[in-house]
């Protein structure tokens, strides 16, 4: 562990910002906004602003976004994906990631994945509302989807989309269960279990509604396949 | 309730056999063997034997079967479906039920459904191991499947088979989750949730591994569609 | 799969509307409104309006309904069943479906089933608040209920209604658990489990509060029994 | 708490036998045999033998029974209820408890309740296999059942028996879920939830398969109603 | 079942009021208000008003209470127990029920039990905030508590109160888990499990927060012990 | 039990205040505010005010705090930890407890632990936002953390912080899972399970979000190690 | 979907072998042995033997292995990974996958992943028993681990290994929860939840004990990064 | 982290033995035997034998014990606690830990705690079968129990023992839920929840049946209080 520099972060009291992260892990930090106060977010974004780095905030609500943007106007807010982005260094997008959803309700999670993948340097193509209840819609898009290096399959309710796709390709699939549904969907648990139990190998899974990690992981793989990381 | 005859059963102490059932509900009784002793089963089958009625025993293990067959040799045992049948009156099979499975491990449950549906008077066709991990296998059989009046879809693990079929037809689908799988399949719970949350309407669900109720319910519908009940 | 036309839908960006569905599956499309924005719903209903087809929207709240009705005034909203309907081609109702509830709290789900079954072409009769806590109420109606081709039993809390009914008839029963109850009802889970574990065969189950699928599935069966599909 | 004598038990090392219990709580001690070694059971039964008291052992398997009976031959074993009883003082039975089961598989739990209630001084009548799948069997017995002071309803699977009974009487009902069933019965959980969520008030519930506590509690109530405790 | 009069209820469309219930089950009807509209409640209370009977409404919120009281001013509302009562025939209270709570947060459920028990004709004494975290508070009251015919133990969080009480008496105990707590209390599930698994026999359990059924069941037992039912 | 004085509390009707507690258990009482009305809280704090004792209120919201402070102005409210404190006797702080959090979202729970530990007489040092996603932040602080007598590790989501710390020291670790997270964090259940299953021995666990008990338990241990209790 | 050949499998009755799979998905078929009879396995392996293809069998027990090997002696059995392999065409291994385990109990699952990855054409390095209870063991190996294209982290109990690794690299991590543990490990559920909730992005998850899918997915990614698929 | 020596373990292939642990964490290593083969255990114990260190093996079954003892005869096996101990350096026992159980079934877990605490250097006193069903047994022992520095409370079923004890002392309590019970005890889950939700502060909890961690943690605290670590 000779390259672990234990001093390699910025201590701002309530938080230890991982400023050495780009060096250590290759990518800028992302900030999980959900449980942070507006003042904490402003302080965090200002710190990154001052350091000249890019930063991505996820799960930010409108009120948080307004507060941050009022103080640091370069920050962009995407209301569908609920992301805050501060881009101070240009991002070059590589390769291709296909992001598919089962229904329209899954779009916010898919957009979080898309914003994340693009922020970290991947090209993204979107295929929305192609779930298995009308499977011909998926088949109509399949040839295009198979041009990607990685596929992200976002689905709630029964969550079978990813398994059907994985069964037709040799491309790595990352499945994201969403909390869309009611009754026994148990806020995404049903979709999660479907994905974990899929008979179609080559698919791995992330947490319910975790578009961010899906986009991040897909980006890691896509960039390595594209030969840039 | 003028036609409910409260004396309409045979009391043999530990059990009250529903001998009036064929009159009241239209079909002979089935016996759930799992929690019964060998002596109880022998006494039950003998009672039906003596009454000249048909009877179906489900979830009978080999040992129970041997004991019953030793006493009442007309009883047939099917080791895959774990059913005991005593046929004393001929059964005329009507219409058609398609029974599909996702994998080979689902076959015992499918066979229980098949034996049940045939016992109660339905014709059955079987389509095994056509799960969505290799979806072309399902498509190859789909035209044949659509000739049935009712479809039974039996699947464990992710349990997506029924939803894909329901999305392609206007035939009633009865989905049976099986306990096949491991880890987060939670003994069929994952498949059950998938089926309950399916976006493809027209599909209803029965208990995990309950091939009997699937066969029974499909038979009810099939016979009514065929105009015989 | 020679009759699967993969181009058979209308792509409006965020959604792929299944306009070929009536041909393929025999019935018009239904729209799950819960997770859609008002703008998305308006665009979807306008597309169907323009195509001259009927369409049914489920789980629409008052606000969504107002927005859609303001733009397309032919759309009807039913506040109890939370359904939006646009009827442009006359619907002929066939056969008969009996819809029963355990209590008054189950009525909204029962109404969703009723609206759906009627939209797709079934005649419906309603028997509300006849749960087993006062079982004489059920018995008083049983003879009438048995005139239907299919019975829908809607119940929350202990959810035993369907099993009692199924035990007295040879008519297919579709049970709908509702989220009515508190404590260990676990938002409908208790009723769902009761229904799945019923000893009375001939009953199948749908997702908690899923009146839509109950009505849809009952309609499929009722129309086939009536000889019209 | 002036009547709590903290020295009021017999310390035999691994166990503290509640020899003062009959005085304090009015009834002799029962021994839960399931997790005890054969040597521990022998020592416990011998202690009670020597003290001249009655004692009841529950959940004893055949092997444990053999070991105890070999040493203390007055001990009786009931293989169905899995109870060991040592009766050294005569028991006078009072009042009446009705014990009902849904199916034959529930009989062992019902028998444990019966043995317990009789051990503690209640008269018992048994009504087995009268579950709601053939509800006319229950109705045929209802007038007799209503002669009891307390009703115990034992049922697995959907577990609806107790609620139907409670809905027809003003007699206290104690419901016992059993682990009979498969799939989503989840070893009695389904029946337990049904019972807890029953709309028919006047019914209370005990642990899954806990015939002992049902018999004990019913006895407490029955004897007080009979005016003997 | 010669005394089941299947016409013995009043059909007001959305509800079938059990007006024959007092005859059949011995006690007036109670109305579960939670899922009913204000108009439905008014109609129900007016029907009972007109029939001259007493009626109890449970789980009524302030808004519902206001609406009913505006129309039928004799109806009383208790904001803590959330009960509506219309008393048109005098109630004579018999015997004694002790109602205990673990903490102050459990009081609303205890009050629902108290109002119910009194409505149906039992005398009630209350012992609040005597949970086991300071067990001397319980001991100080134990002698008084033991004067009752039935004990109701209401507790959330760990829910151990009932078991400790049951271990010290031969009086029937009815335990009510409450949803008080946080984290792993899982809205009363922890307390429920504690109660179901109690080693102290003689205690039975009702649904989480179900003060009504506890009061109702305790009243049944208390009145029979008092020799009045 | 010769030193249990069963009269040793103050009965104020809805509550029995444990005024003898400091004598019996060594520490002043804490009041769980969450389920109490404002009037109840005022009455409780006034009782302690009048008795001259210190008292700590936990899980108090702003509205409750305002109401209490308006009546008893010496009471202090900490909005982050949601605690109310009334200090009438000076508190001497002993030893040292290290309180660590995985992220910034865990701070409110950590603060509740800190306020509690200090209220009962421990010195506290805080190490926030040192979770394992950037494990070098933890290592940078580890030498300081190891100076404490007890370590409290507060973490949501995956909750691995405590196990990593426990694996590097011989200091007792108390782990507090928090409800921070989403999807399969199941409101802290994921973190709780991680902590309970930790391979690093020497760590014990408290309820989700229970900073109070963590602080209380750590204080007990710290003071005994410091030789003051 | 012009390249989906629906005839592209071999129908052997109980199974439809996906012989066209190598063409369609790029890799040979794997056979899930767990629920298959010995006769079925023999027939399947013989079919592949005759076709000259490679085939991998997973979750085969010793008895199944003996039966298959007796008939087709070229089949190799690995008792630790429980895999059957028939290699008829040489496999060229590319790139590098690092497979890590938390403890020794996780080795069988890790071995299944290793055998799978090698069967499909990846080079594998193993790092066993480096879990976080003694985190210095992990750090000692970290530089080596980081040479891989993909990391597989296999862990039971608390399952924190993958998150710690992911926090230190920019290499894609696939986490495999195992059923190792007891009590609240709930057969791998605890480890699964830890992995899904990890704060360290870049890690995705497979089903409990699913070494096969981990190896398969890692191979897909590794080979694409290596530029060979 | 200057004192983390990453080379500080012995790599024996399948395992990395933490031979530097006594230095780093202050105590010898313990070996979790459950998932290890006999050969692995022999190799591990021999390594420790050769190093002259003490070692403790937990959850070893009889067969494993026989195999290890045959090779290294100094190893002792305790069949109740299922522990293997190799003592090569004398252990000096300090302070005092009280270990209590609710029933006799909890003794094996209590014994694991006792063996562990003694192995690591604590004096232990045992108080078995003093659960709350007969609470006078606990009170009779309470004065003795309070002489300890730490209390371990081991209980299954309802698991209330620890909370009652914690409510009467200011001594740290470590609660161990056991899997003793049936039905809704859910293999210790009920007892675990009771303990986590206890209103009696000062108690912390370990995994179900984890006597080892209870003994280890109690020892850490006891020795620090005794001033020896």
Rounded to an integer, what distance in angstroms lies between the CA atom of residue A147 and that of residue G102? Answer: 37
Query: Taking all residues of chain E, what is their mean pLDDT, rounded to a whole number?
Result: 92
Instruction: Output the pLDDT for position D24.
Output: 64
Instruction: Output the pLDDT for position D1.
Output: 40
Q: What are the tokens at H208?
A: 């179900």
Best CA proximity match to A215, nearest among A186, A184, A183, A176: A176
Render pLDDT for H124-153 as a digit per residue (tens, 0 to 9): 999 999 988 888 889 999 999 999 999 999
Q: Is pLDDT of A111 > 90?
A: yes
Chain H contact for F226, CB < 8 A?
Answer: no
Render pLDDT for A37-53 as a digit per residue (tens, 0 to 9): 999 999 999 999 998 98
E194, E163 in Cβ contact below 8 A?
A: yes
User: Looking at chain A, which residue has its C-alpha nearest residue B165?
Assistant: A133
Backbone conformation region of residue B209, classed left if phi is above 0, alpha if psi is from -120 to 50, else beta: left
Q: Is pLDDT of G113 > 70?
A: yes
Instruction: Choose among D170, D201, D216: nearest Cβ to E213.
Output: D201
Percent of chain B with pLDDT over 90: 80
Q: Is pLDDT of E21 > 80?
A: no
Mean pLDDT of B44-56: 92
Chain D contact for C132, CB < 8 A?
Answer: yes
Instruction: Output the pLDDT for position C2.
Output: 41
Q: Is pLDDT of F92 > 50?
A: yes
Instruction: Choose among A143, A199, A220: nearest Cβ to G202.
Output: A220
Chain H contact for G161, CB < 8 A?
Answer: no
Name the pLDDT band for H7 (thresholds 50, 70, 90).
Answer: low
Residue with tokens 């705090």: F65
Question: Cβ G14–B139 below 8 Å, yes or no?
Answer: no
Render pLDDT for B142-193 as a digit per residue (tens, 0 to 9): 999 999 999 999 999 999 999 999 999 999 999 999 999 999 999 999 999 9
Mean pLDDT of C116-142: 92
ipTM of the complex in this document: 0.94
Q: Which class is domain G94-225?
A: alpha beta
- Element at D212 (helix H, strand E): helix D211-225
Running DSSP on this structure, what letter comes out for residue D183? G
For chain B, list the contacting chains (3+ Cβ pairs, <8 Å).
A, C, D, G
Mean pLDDT of E153-180: 96
Query: Taking all residues of chain A, what is their mean pLDDT, rounded to a whole number?
Result: 92
Q: Is pLDDT of E73 > 50?
A: yes
Region of poorest pLDDT, from D150-164, E2-16, H31-45:
E2-16
B-chain CB neighbours of C213 within 8 Å are 201-204
pTM: 0.95
Render pLDDT for F171-187 as a digit per residue (tens, 0 to 9): 999 999 999 999 999 99
C154, C207 in Cβ contact below 8 A?
A: no
Query: Taking all residues of chain C, what is their mean pLDDT, rounded to a whole number?
Result: 92
* Pairing label, strands A76-78, A83-86: antiparallel
F-chain CB neighbours of G167 within 8 Å are 132-135
- Polymer length in residues for chain D: 229
Rounded to an integer, what distance in angstroms lies between the CA atom of residue C122 and that of residue C91? Answer: 9
Instruction: Choose among C107, C140, C183: nearest Cβ to E210.
Output: C183
Name the pLDDT band for H3 (thresholds 50, 70, 90).
Answer: very low
Q: Is pLDDT of E46 > 80?
A: yes
Instruction: Choose among C104, C182, C183: nearest Cβ to E14.
Output: C104
User: Looking at chain G, which residue has its C-alpha nearest residue A143?
Assistant: G1
Query: Taking all residues of chain F, what is their mean pLDDT, rounded to a whole number?
Result: 92
Identify which has the larger pLDDT, B125 or F5. B125
Q: What are the tokens at F13?
A: 């009707």
Q: Is pLDDT of F9 > 90?
A: no
Instruction: Output the pLDDT for position G3.
Output: 47
Region of poorest pLDDT, from E24-33, F50-59, F141-150:
E24-33
Mean pLDDT of G17-29: 71
Question: Given CA atoms G76, G78, G79, G81 in this order, what sign does their dihedral have?
Answer: negative
Domain map of chain F by residue range? 6-86, 94-225
Name the pLDDT band for B26 (thresholds 50, 70, 90).
Answer: low
Task: Provide the shortest C-alpha distance from residue D216 to chain B (in Å).
Answer: 23
Residue to test with chain G: of H26, H35, H192, H212, most G Cβ within 10 A? H35
Identify which has the larger pLDDT, H38 or B27. H38
Instruction: Output the pLDDT for position H26.
Output: 66
Render pLDDT for E217-229 as a digit per residue (tens, 0 to 9): 999 999 999 998 7
Render pLDDT for C174-188 as a digit per residue (tens, 0 to 9): 999 999 999 999 999
Q: Which of residues 62-101 of C touch D (CB under 8 A)?
A: none
Question: Cβ B35–D130 below 8 Å, yes or no?
Answer: no
Question: Given CA atoms F168, F169, F172, F174 in this order, what sign does their dihedral have?
Answer: negative
A-chain CB neighbours of B168 within 8 Å are 135
Render pLDDT for G8-17 as a digit per residue (tens, 0 to 9): 778 887 888 8
E-chain CB neighbours of C209 within 8 Å are none
Render pLDDT for G118-131 as a digit per residue (tens, 0 to 9): 999 999 999 999 98
H108, H80 in Cβ contact below 8 A?
A: yes
Residue to test with chain B: of C27, C201, C213, C227, most B Cβ within 10 A? C201
Instruction: Output the pLDDT for position F182.
Output: 95
Q: Is pLDDT of A2 > 50?
A: no
User: Looking at chain G, which residue has its C-alpha nearest residue A116?
Assistant: G201
Percent of chain H with pLDDT over 90: 80
Question: Cβ E206–D207 below 8 Å, yes or no?
Answer: no
Best CA proximity match to D78, nearest among D124, D36, D115: D115
Residues of chain D with pLDDT under 70: 1-7, 23-26
Rounded to an integer, what distance in angstroms lies between the CA atom of residue C132 and that of residue D203? Answer: 14
Question: Cβ E224–D149 below 8 Å, yes or no?
Answer: yes
Mean pLDDT of A154-168: 95
Render pLDDT for A11-70 as a digit per residue (tens, 0 to 9): 888 888 877 677 666 677 799 999 899 999 999 999 999 989 899 999 999 999 999 999
Task: Provide the shortest C-alpha distance from residue D18 to chain B (in Å).
Answer: 36
Render pLDDT for D155-214 as a digit per residue (tens, 0 to 9): 999 999 999 999 999 999 999 999 999 999 999 999 999 999 998 899 999 999 999 999
* Pairing label, strands C83-86, C94-101: unpaired
H215, H112 in Cβ contact below 8 A?
A: yes
Rounded to an integer, what distance in angstroms lies between the CA atom of residue C58 and that of residue D47? Answer: 69
Query: Taking all residues of chain G, what is their mean pLDDT, rounded to a whole number?
Result: 92
Running DSSP on this structure, what letter comes out for residue G81? T
Question: Cβ B193–A183 below 8 Å, yes or no?
Answer: no
Instruction: Output the pLDDT for position F7.
Output: 64
Chain G contact for F168, CB < 8 A?
Answer: yes
Identify which has the larger pLDDT, D180 or H24. D180
Residue to test with chain A: of C27, C207, C212, most A Cβ within 10 A? C207
G84, G91 in Cβ contact below 8 A?
A: no
Identify which has the larger pLDDT, B18 or F154. F154
Rounded to an integer, what distance in angstroms lies between the CA atom of residue F216 and that of residue H170? Answer: 10
Question: Cβ F208–E183 below 8 Å, yes or no?
Answer: yes
A71 CB-contact burial (10 Å; exposed 0-12 / middle 13-18 / buried 19+): middle
H168, F24 in Cβ contact below 8 A?
A: yes
Percent of chain F with pLDDT over 70: 94
Name the pLDDT band for B27 (thresholds 50, 70, 90).
Answer: confident
Task: Provide the shortest C-alpha distance from residue A133 to chain B (in Å).
Answer: 5
Question: Cβ F172–H203 below 8 Å, yes or no?
Answer: no
- DSSP letters, B57-87, are EES--HHHHHHHHHH-TT-EEETTTTEEEE-
Instruction: Output the pLDDT for position A229.
Output: 74
Render pLDDT for F181-226 as a digit per residue (tens, 0 to 9): 999 999 999 999 999 999 889 999 999 999 999 999 999 999 999 9
Question: Cβ F202–H196 below 8 Å, yes or no?
Answer: no
Instruction: Choose among B4, B187, B207: nearest Cβ to D136.
Output: B4
D-chain CB neighbours of C103 within 8 Å are 199
């Amino acid at each position: 562990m000779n390259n672990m520099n234990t001093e390699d972060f910025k201590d701002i009291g309530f938080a230890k910002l991982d400023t050495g992260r780009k060096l250590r892990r290759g990518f800028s930090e992302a900030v999980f906004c959900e449980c942070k106060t507006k003042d904490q977010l402003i302080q965090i974004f200002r710190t990154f602003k001052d350091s000249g780095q890019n930063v991505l905030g996820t799960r930010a609500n409108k009120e948080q976004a307004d507060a941050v943007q009022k103080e640091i106007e370069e920050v962009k807010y995407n209301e569908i994906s609920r992301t805050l982005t501060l881009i101070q260094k240009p991002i070059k997008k590589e390769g291709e990631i296909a992001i598919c959803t089962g229904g329209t309700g899954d779009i916010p999670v898919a957009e979080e994945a898309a914003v994340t993948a693009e922020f970290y340097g991947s090209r993204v193509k979107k295929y929305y509302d192609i779930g298995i209840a009308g499977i011909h819609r998926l088949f109509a898009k399949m040839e295009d989807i198979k041009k990607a290096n990685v596929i992200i399959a976002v689905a709630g309710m029964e969550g079978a989309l990813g398994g059907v796709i994985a069964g037709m390709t040799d491309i790595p699939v990352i499945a994201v269960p969403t909390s869309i549904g009611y009754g026994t969907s148990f806020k995404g648990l049903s979709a999660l279990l479907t994905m974990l139990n899929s008979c179609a190998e080559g698919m791995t899974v992330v947490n319910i509604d975790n578009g961010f990690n899906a986009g991040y992981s897909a980006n890691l793989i896509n960039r390595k396949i594209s030969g840039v990381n």
